[in-house]
Chains A and B, each alone.
Chain A
Amino acid sequence: MLAYTVYSEAGGVGKTTLATNLAKAEVRAGRKVLAIDLDTQEASLSHLLDVAGDRNNDQADSLLRHMIDRPRGEFADLIKTSEGIDVVPAHNILEYASKHLRRREEEAADFGESWNPNKQLLRVLREAGVHETYDTLIIDPPASADIKLHNAIHATRHLVIPFEPSGKGYESVQGLDQLVGGLEESLGIEVGVLAVVPNRYKGMNDQDRFLAQLTADGWETPIRFRERSSLLEGCWAEQCTAYRYIEEHRDREREHELETLEKFDELASQIREQKAVEA
């Protein structure tokens, strides 16, 4: 199974849009896809795919309940399907993930059990047989580096990093390298980067300078997305992927938008190859 977390330290770089459209590209490639939304913000993957209905329902089961061994039902019942993508939607209780996971850790400690709050997502996914059911797992974590991100990285061990080619964007990749380095040591794992994806590329000189710097650091950026705010804002308004938006909500085809779809497909395929070659 191909598994990765789409993450960037900088906010507003199109993390959720990228995760959603990569999930759709995987479905288009004939693969069975599970997307997990760990972001409790209103503008999250489950909102974009219009499956966030139970977010406020405190009677509903949630992924976090499974992570603290207090499930209300089967893992399979958490899943909602949209545009062929299976999604575990975000629930507001995730806001308190740290508190609940640590309370459970304390309870375990009282009984002399060893229980690491950063490793519970992988346990839940394994017990549910996700790796036997799906070809691709994509996790969309919150933009802040918290216990949910630690769980996401521990469960997938691979990252896809969107970033805006600017000084701030470059720094965010450097910062991420440090953060992940710390996680690798403390969780005893190695983390691979399947793709670094520049977004809102305009071909300006200073952007090229930061991309060259990134390449010199050892990161390749074969796929670049240009500014497509009209398309992506349309997706948020209609709550769908870019593929469905162009098919159903655009009255005429725009060459550059079709190009964007091709890039999502190509990026998804490159990510699959990265994994296949080096695994």
Chain B
Amino acid sequence: MKQGSADDPFADDASEEADTEKEPELETNNKGRETGLASTGTDRPVGSTASSQTRSLPYIHSRDGVKDGRTQRPIFLRDHIESGIDDLVTQMEEEFGEDVYKTDITEAAMAVAQENPELVREKLDEWGYGWD
């Protein structure tokens, strides 16, 4: 964000076309940064570059689709675990008051597990790992 004029969103048909195509996240970010540098004048407030990088649009709002940047993985689940995902979806939708994707919940569950390996250990223990 800088004092003065930026580009005209109604002028560049070609670049908008390209914009809506799928691009790896990293590439999109770099492109945005380059454009910013090229046309930013000296009147841009000092420090705003650093601060703008610390707070970007949340993940679910910046992607073009729920499958963007994700690879499909066949996983093997027992029935009660699988129906537990649906229960979790229902619960999260109640808490947020909006639709929540099953895909997001499944990945979030894996992320939480990775951040809390002790919980995973307990569960595996319950399932029979670690028996002498």
Contact = CB atoms under 8 A, between A and B. Distances in A.
B111 to A, nearest CB: 20
Interface stretch (B50-58, B80-88, B124-132): B50-58
B5 A181 contact: no
Contact of B32 (A117, A130, A188, A275): A188
B20 interface: yes
A106 B55 contact: no
A183 B57 contact: yes
A177 B5 contact: no
B109 to A, nearest CB: 19
Interface in A105-136: 105-106, 108-109, 113-119, 122, 125-126, 130-131
B67 interface: yes
Given A180-B1, A184-B1, A191-B1, A119 B7 contact: no
The number of chain A residues touching the other chain, given as a range, is 35 or more
Nearest to B93: A99
A181 B1 contact: yes
Given A184-B52, A218-B43, A220-B3, A190 B35 contact: yes
Given A119-B20, A188-B35, A113 B65 contact: yes
A60 interface: no
A118 B67 CA distance: 16
28 contacts: A98-B98, A99-B98, A105-B66, A109-B66, A109-B67, A113-B65, A114-B68, A116-B63, A147-B61, A177-B48, A179-B55, A181-B1, A182-B57, A183-B57, A185-B29, A185-B52, A186-B56, A190-B2, A190-B7, A192-B1, A192-B5, A193-B2, A194-B4, A218-B43, A218-B45, A219-B3, A275-B5, A279-B5
Interface of A: 1, 3, 98-99, 102-103, 105-106, 108-109, 113-119, 122, 125-126, 130-131, 147, 150, 154-159, 174, 176-194, 196, 217-220, 274-275, 277-279
